[in-house]
Amino acid sequence: MSSSFIKAQKRIAIGLSGGVDSAVAAYFLKKEGHEIIAIFMQNWDDYLGGQPTNICSQTQDWDDAQAIAHQLDIPIYKVDLKKGITPNPDILCNSVIKFHYFTEHVKKEFATDFIATGHYAKIVQEGKEYYLSKPKDNSKDQTYFLCQIDRNLLDKILFPLANSTKKEIRQIAEKAGLINAQKKDSTGICFIGERKFEGFLTNYFPKKKGEVIDVDDKKVIGEHFGTPFFTIGQRRSLGLHGQKKPHYVVGKNIKKNLIYVASGWDNNNQNITAKFRYRQPEIPVKITPLTDFKELKVEFSEKQRAITPGQYAVFYQDNICLGGGVIFNTERNKENSEPNI
C-alpha cells in the first residue's frame, strides 16, 4: 500500500539503498510525520575470492545512504546479510530476503509497524485481503520482480512511490535538495550480483518444523521444515504421503510457521495475461493445470521468441499481480507455431 493509507503516525523502517528512489520514499514518509528508521542491507562481500565484484559498489551505496539519512535527519543501521552465499535471481531476493527477512528481522530488532521500500509497485486492499498491483508509472513497474512476496506480509509493506512517476521522483528530489537527486539508476532491481545459488536458503533461514494444512477440510496432512523454503504454487517436494491427489501450496502463515495446501485448481482464465521478461508488454494466456497438478501449461496468444527455461512467467489480472513461477520447459504449438511453456 502507499503511505497515504496510514492516518496515524507510525514507526516505519525504510530500506535505504543510496539511490534516488528510496531517498524520495524516505522523504515522503518523513514529510508525513512518521518516525523513520533507515535500513541499509548489505548482501555480499565487496571482495569475493580476492577479486572485487563488478556488480555495484556497496561501499559507495552505503556512503550515499548515510549521507541521505543525515540530510533527512533519520537514524540509519546496516543489516549485514553477508553469510557466504546469496541468491542470484532478483525475484527470489525480493520475495525471500528483502521482504521475508527484512520484515521479520526489522520488526523484531526495531519494533516497527511497517517496512517501506522505493520500489515502483502498489498494494491494494479489498475487504480484508491485500494484493500486489501495478503502480502509476507503468514504465517502471517492478511487480515482475516482486511476484512471489508472501501475501501475508503485504499489510505491513509500504510502497510510497506507488502513485508517482520516475520523472516526478527526480523533480521532487531536485526540489527537496536531496544530494543524490541526479544519481544514476542501478542496472539491477536488487542489491545482489551473480552468485551461486545452491545452499542459499539454509544459510539464512534455519529449518523449523511446522504443519501442512489442507485448506479444504482444515486437517493437518503433513509436516514441513520452514515456510521460507516453499513458494505459492509449489507442487514438488511437499513431503506429503498417503494422499490420493497431488497438492500444491496456496498460502503461508510465516508467524505461525504453517503451510496451506489444496488438491484442486480454480482457474477460469478470465482476462489473465503474462510476461516472462521485465518491461515486456503482457499478452493474454491460457493456463491449463497438467494431469498430475505438479505444473501448469501456459499457452501464449501471440508468438514469442527466446523463452528460456529458468526465467519467470508472471501472471496478471487487470492491474493485480497474481504471482509467478519458473519456466522449466518450452514447446511450440504445431498449428500456429506459438510457444507454450
Which member of 56, 147, 190, 321 is catalytic? 190
For 42, counting Cβ atoms within 10 Å of its Cβ (0-12 exposed, 13-18 middle, 19+ buried), the class is middle
Q: 482476462: which residue's cell?
A: 271
Q: Catalytic annotation on 321?
A: no
- Bridge-based pairing of strands 312-317 and 76-80 is unpaired
In this structure, how many other beta carbons lie within 10 angstroms of the beta carbon of residue 46? 14
The kind and range of the H/E element at 105 are helix 102-110
CA triple 184-185-187, angle to 5 deg? 120
Grid coordinates belonging to 120: 515502483
**Whole-angstrom distance, CA of residue 324 vs CA of residue 81:** 25
Provide φ and ψ at 51, rounded to 5°. Answer: -115, 135
Selected catalytic residue, list 56, 93, 147, 321: 93
| CA distances for 172 relative to 68, 180, 183, 316, angstroms | 14, 12, 14, 31
Report the distance separating Cα 324 and Cα 312, nearest Å. Answer: 6
* Cα(157)–Cα(122) distance, integer angstroms: 10
Helix (H) or strand (E) holding 133: strand 129-133
CB of 297 within 8 A of CB of 284?
no
Residue 142: partners with Cβ closer than 8 Å, 6 or more residues away: 119, 120, 121, 135, 189, 278
Q: Which residues contact 243 (CB under 8 A, 6 or more apart)?
A: 221, 263
Residue 164: count other Cβ atoms within 10 Å of its Cβ: 22
> What is the distance between the alpha carbons of residues 104 and 118, in angstroms, rounded to a whole number?
19
Catalytic annotation, residues? 93, 190
